Amino acid sequence: MLRAIPCTVMRGGTSKALFFTAMDLPADSYTRDRVLLAAFGSPDVRQIDGLGGAHPLTSKVAVIGPPSHPRADVDYLFLQVLIDKPEVSDSQNCGNILAGVGPWAIENRWLPASSPTTAVRIHMLNTASLAIAQVPTPHGIVEYEGSARIDGVPGTAAAIMIDFLDVAGASCGSLLPTGSAREEIDGIAVTCIDNGMPVVILNAADFGKSGTESPAELEQDSALRERVEAIRLALGPRMNLGDVTRKTVPKMCLVSPPRAGGTLNTRTFIPHRVHESIGVLGAVSVATACATAGSVAASLANLAITDGRVRVDIEHPGGYFTVELTVEAANGSLRVTRSALLRTARKLMRGEVFVPQSVWGIP
């Protein structure tokens, strides 16, 4: 017997996910994860027996529930369904899928729509932090079509502005979890930073790389992957993340001087594949590092600060990602007081996904 679960397939930013209502999934995480693995067809590198897209960027879940925070409209739990292992991870946020939460919540009547935009306050359960998504809702109806363009997604769509509130140190306990903007490990200078996503920033030149290599070229370099992973495992405990062997954080970002007029060039391990662009919250952390004196990123970035505002154009394999920061001077350094960015989203399908009833523990 098969059991039907209501779900919506949505693109958020440069990722794709199945969106579920929390009440439609098992309450205990063990059974819930078994259900999601069956829905996606994991573990299997093709995910042929499920709805997964055989890539980390298309093997994602958003679970939406009633707000548990007094200032939020909805709760959002992000889950990463691994492809080649029977695992589901809740160790990180996903800012790309976050872009779809506001439209989904409005269309499913979790809050009333206004016109021309509706502000949706989202409680991100993974890090117990808040974000505000400004969703275009002319005449009280979610608008998906528009003229906004983001690299990594063909065509254009309606712009969704997202402001992040109080995300510094959300996963690691502080913006600079090791207490320093720069340190060395195994002879490599690193910056460990968490402004919404734990990221380790490394100079690509220290690994003999120009920073212009394609994701495929970097993934094929087994010596590079092993060295980057060794540094990641060593830094996990120092970033207050514990043993990260089976975690998807921290992300490892190789940086180099800008090549196409941006602020900084990047290649990001997420952590074992190389991102075709860059994750939303990872981009916020990298942008913050650009404005942090003494960091590996700051030493390479082409950065200008005007009236306390910083526009950081992060170059990645697919183009640019722009982050707007508001900063203020504090104790001789800069403190980020606001992080904002533009994303788009699109509803792709609404219906039911079927999983074996036995997965629920029902004979």
Three-class DSSP labels, 20-45: EEHHHCCCCHHHHHHHHHHHHCCCCC
pLDDT at 310: 87
- Provide the percentage of residues in the chain whose pLDDT is more than 90: 85
pLDDT at 87: 96
Give yes or no for residue 172 having a pLDDT over 70.
yes
Give yes or no for residue 363 having a pLDDT over 90.
no
Q: Provide the pLDDT confidence category of residue 43 given band limits of 50, 70 and 90.
A: very high
**Sign of the torsion formed by the C-alpha atoms of 9, 12, 14 and 15:** negative
Model confidence pLDDT, tens digit, residues 177-186: 999 999 999 8
pLDDT at 333: 66
Give yes or no for residue 167 having a pLDDT over 90.
no
Tokens 């203020």 locate to 328
* 314 in Cβ contact with 281 (< 8 Å): no
Domains of the chain: 2-159+345-360 (3.10.310.10), 183-335 (3.10.310.10)
Please return the burial class of 79, using the count of CB atoms within 10 Å of its CB with bins 0-12, 13-18 and 19+.
buried
Q: What is the mean pLDDT of residues 79-95?
A: 94
Q: Provide the pLDDT confidence category of residue 166 given band limits of 50, 70 and 90.
A: confident
Choose among 62, 54, 72, 63: nearest CA to 27.
63
Q: Cα separation of 100 and 106, whole Å?
A: 10
Radius of gyration of the chain (CA): 20
**Sign of the torsion formed by the C-alpha atoms of 307, 308, 309 and 315:** positive
pLDDT at 334: 66
Tokens 């027996």 locate to 49
Q: Cα separation of 89 and 356, whole Å?
A: 22
Give yes or no for residue 131 having a pLDDT over 90.
yes
Phi, psi (deg, nearest 5) at residue 60: -130, 160
For the stretch 101-139, what's the b/e string if a residue is b when 16 or more beta carbons lie within 10 angstroms of its beta carbon? bbbbbbbeebbebeeebbebbbbbbbbebbbbbbbbbee
pLDDT at 260: 93
What count of Cα atoms within 13 Å lies in the side-chain half-sphere of residue 52? 28
* 276 in Cβ contact with 215 (< 8 Å): yes
271 cis-preceded (ω within 30 degrees of 0): yes
Give yes or no for residue 25 having a pLDDT over 90.
yes
- Take residue 348 and report the two structure tokens written for it: 């792709």
- Provide the percentage of residues in the chain whose pLDDT is more than 70: 99
Give yes or no for residue 313 having a pLDDT over 90.
yes
> Would you report the helix, strand and coil content of the chain in percent, each value rounded to 5?
20, 35, 40
Q: Provide the pLDDT confidence category of residue 10 given band limits of 50, 70 and 90.
A: very high
Q: Cα separation of 129 and 135, whole Å?
A: 19
Higher pLDDT, 362 or 234: 234
Q: Cα separation of 298 and 318, whole Å?
A: 22
Model confidence pLDDT, tens digit, residues 271-302: 999 999 999 999 999 999 998 989 999 999 99
pTM of the model: 0.83
Q: In this structure, what DSSP letter does residue 125 have?
A: T
**Sign of the torsion formed by the C-alpha atoms of 178, 263, 99 and 276:** negative
Model confidence pLDDT, tens digit, residues 67-77: 999 999 999 99
Query: Residue 327 corresponds to which amino acid?
Result: V
Give yes or no for residue 326 having a pLDDT over 90.
no
In this predicted structure, which of 28-42, 49-63, 74-88, 317-331 has the lowest mean pLDDT?
Answer: 317-331
Cα 54 to Cα 57, 81, 245, 358: the distances in Å are 9, 10, 21, 24
258 cis-preceded (ω within 30 degrees of 0): no
What is the average pLDDT value for the chain, to the nearest integer?
A: 94
Q: Cα separation of 305 and 322, whole Å?
A: 15
Give yes or no for residue 21 having a pLDDT over 90.
yes
Model confidence pLDDT, tens digit, residues 212-228: 999 999 999 999 999 99
Q: What is the mean pLDDT of residues 123-145?
A: 96
Q: How many other C-beta atoms can be found within 10 angstroms of the C-beta atom of residue 83?
A: 22
